[in-house]
Amino acid sequence: MPRVARWGSFVAVGDSFTEGLDDPYPDGTFRGWADLVAARLALDVPGFRYANLAIRGRLFANIVAEQVPAALEMKPDLVSFAAGGNDVLRRSFDGAALIRRFDQVVGELRATGADVVVFRFADVMARLPGQRLIAPRVAVLNRAVGETAERHGATLVDLFADEEFHNPAMWGPDRLHLSPAGHRRVAGHLLTALGVQSDPAWMVPLERLPSARWLASRTADARWAGQHLAPWIKRRLTGRSSGDAITAKRPHLAPFTE
């Protein structure tokens, strides 16, 4: 039975997944699942406060060094921690070290008395190159996230188990970040995991478009490679990140406003 939200404050920690790409507000800034969750929780708690520290492109070590201490200092009732997605795309990926540190961070957050939410990442690799290399890394990370959640009593949101994320409509033009519909589905999963009622429309499966003909599909792939893959490769070669010069969109724990 869904219950009334009881958390007076919520801090979201992570990368582009948590920042909200590609779910824009009318002014071009990003909403995303974390803002949607905050808006719902704020309905039940007067004076509800929210911070979103996430910055696109951040690697696990940067998130832990920059965002986790700030989150701990805020002493929120609820924390979401999603990190490692950018690491699995790097040749330097060290799964064992990341998993150990992930466990430590969740333990630190839980030791404050906060409720902590972690995620098994959705299967995003079906339409991306490098699946044979990256998919096993994601599987290792997802398995460790589940084990960490059980060990520390964190709330697990298992996006990988949701077949609806195989629908291309859940993903934005770059095939890596969630679409507005994808963000709403994540928000619905998270609120359900917390036992809070969400908008039922967020969980209604979207119609799946018929597969494109071979030529149209190859044309779309070529367009995607030029618009999204090539810039990503260039950033890797030049040591830059999509999050350079970007700051957290909600860096302070403050009353929630949209």
- pLDDT by residue (tens digit) across 125-157? 666 655 677 888 899 999 999 999 999 999 999
pLDDT for residue 211 = 55
Lowest average pLDDT, out of 6-20, 57-71, 133-147, 215-229, goes to 215-229
Domain parsing of the chain, residue ranges:
9-204
Specify the DSSP class assigned to residue 52.
Answer: E
* CA–CA dist 107, 166 (Å, integer): 32
d(CA 34, CA 18): 6
User: What is the C-alpha to C-alpha distance for residues 113 and 36, in angstroms, rounded to an integer?
Assistant: 24
Q: Point out the least confidently predicted range of 146-150, 172-176, 236-240.
A: 236-240
What pLDDT shows up at residue 221?
A: 47
Is the pTM above the cut of 0.95? no
Q: What CATH number does the domain located at 9-204 have? A: 3.40.50.1110
pLDDT for 112: 97
User: What's the mean pLDDT in 27-32?
Assistant: 93
Say what the pLDDT of residue 124 is: 75
Q: Tell me the pLDDT band of 92, cut-offs 50, 70 and 90.
A: confident
Strand arrangement, sheet containing 250-255: 155-158, 115-120, 78-82, 9-14, 49-52, 250-255
* Secondary structure letter of residue 13 according to DSSP: E
CA distances from 233 to 6, 53, 143, 227 (A): 44, 26, 28, 11
Average pLDDT, the chain: 87
